[in-house]
């Protein structure tokens, strides 16, 4: 596929997004262009995929994944690419978050919450971010559950409540989220939002290790200063 053709389809997509055309219109226009120029959708997808490190192409690739143009539809990969594009200044991708968030997509709500929390492409609004995290968390998104726990523990956009914070940490940990497991372990270690329980802390640090959070969990397990003698011996067994 010629570079000039790649630029043409990117320009078409960009102009349609800038005009706030809906998804169906964009998809139809892209297919019309593909057919008119004698390309196969699969070739378009592969070519755009190879340029995914560039922000604008990442946004286009996200759309191809969402609509299944030239590939199998993959919402998770689409949101990952949209998050990458938004965090690097492509504000058009925020449209995806808002649209999917409004339709109840828990992952999109979590991503949009992060954008509001950090002020990425939007005016920073931590209070609204908490509301979005809460919606996503109640729908079972483990990442949002952990972030909502952080908001309660540190009083970010909401009144501090250690018990509620620990509750959301534990919900995240139950879904095998390694960050949730780490925060539950830390809560048990410090007695924050729950009773201090060294054995439970060790158990959750080990869970986090099994999920891939090795560096932090190993450090905590090897740092025996917060453990009783019998707990320290248990770690070394």
Domains and CATH numbers, the chain: 1-92 (no CATH), 104-175 (1.25.40.10), 176-237 (no CATH)
Query: Which one, of 181, 119, 111, 185, lies nearest residue 146 by Cα?
Result: 181
How many angstroms separate the CA atoms of 220 and 196, rounded? 15
CB 213 within 8 A of CB 206: no
Half-sphere exposure of 196 (CA within 13 A, CB side): 6
- Non-local (6+) Cβ contacts of 42 within 8 A are 70, 71
Judged on CB neighbours under 10 Å (0-12, 13-18, 19+), 109 is buried
CB 183 within 8 A of CB 174: no
Residue 4 CA from chain centroid, whole number: 34
Name the phi and psi angles at 65, rounded to 5: -70, -45
Question: What is the DSSP-derived secondary structure letter of residue 227?
Answer: S
Please name the helix (run of DSSP H) or strand (run of DSSP E) that holds residue 26, with its range, or none.
helix 23-36
How many angstroms separate the CA atoms of 216 and 209, rounded? 9
The pLDDT score that the predictor gives to residue 228 is 60
pLDDT means per 10 residues, the chain with 237 residues, are: 87 85 87 94 94 89 90 82 78 70 84 86 91 97 97 98 98 96 96 95 94 83 66 49
- Global pTM value: 0.67
The pLDDT score that the predictor gives to residue 235 is 47
Q: Helix 106-118 vs helix 126-138: angle between axes, to the nearest 10 degrees?
A: 160
DSSP code per residue over 100-152:
HHHTT-HHHHHHHHHHHHHTSSS---HHHHHHHHHHHHHTT-HHHHHHHHHHH
The pLDDT score that the predictor gives to residue 236 is 42
């Amino acid at each position: 596929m010629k570079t000039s053709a790649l630029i043409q389809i990117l320009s078409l997509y960009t102009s349609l997004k800038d005009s706030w055309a809906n998804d169906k219109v964009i998809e139809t226009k892209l297919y019309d262009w593909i057919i008119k120029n004698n390309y196969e959708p699969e070739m378009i997808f592969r070519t755009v995929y190879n340029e995914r490190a560039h922000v604008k192409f990442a946004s286009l690739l996200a759309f191809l994944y969402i609509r299944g143009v030239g590939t199998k539809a993959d919402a998770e990969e689409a949101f990952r690419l949209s998050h990458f594009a938004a965090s690097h200044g492509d504000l058009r991708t925020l449209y995806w978050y808002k649209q999917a968030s409004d339709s109840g997509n828990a992952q999109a709500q979590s991503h949009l919450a992060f954008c509001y929390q950090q002020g990425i492409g939007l005016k920073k609004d931590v209070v609204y971010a908490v509301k979005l995290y809460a919606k996503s968390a109640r729908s079972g998104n483990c990442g949002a559950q952990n972030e909502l726990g952080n908001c309660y523990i540190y009083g970010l956009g909401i009144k501090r409540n250690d018990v509620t914070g620990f509750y959301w940490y534990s919900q995240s940990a139950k879904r095998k989220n390694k960050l949730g497991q780490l925060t539950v372990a830390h809560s048990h270690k410090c007695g924050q939002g729950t009773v201090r329980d060294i054995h439970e802390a060790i158990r959750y640090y080990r869970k986090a290790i099994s999920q891939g959070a090795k560096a932090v969990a190993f450090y905590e397990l090897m740092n025996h200063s917060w453990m009783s003698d019998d707990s320290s011996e248990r770690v070394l067994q």
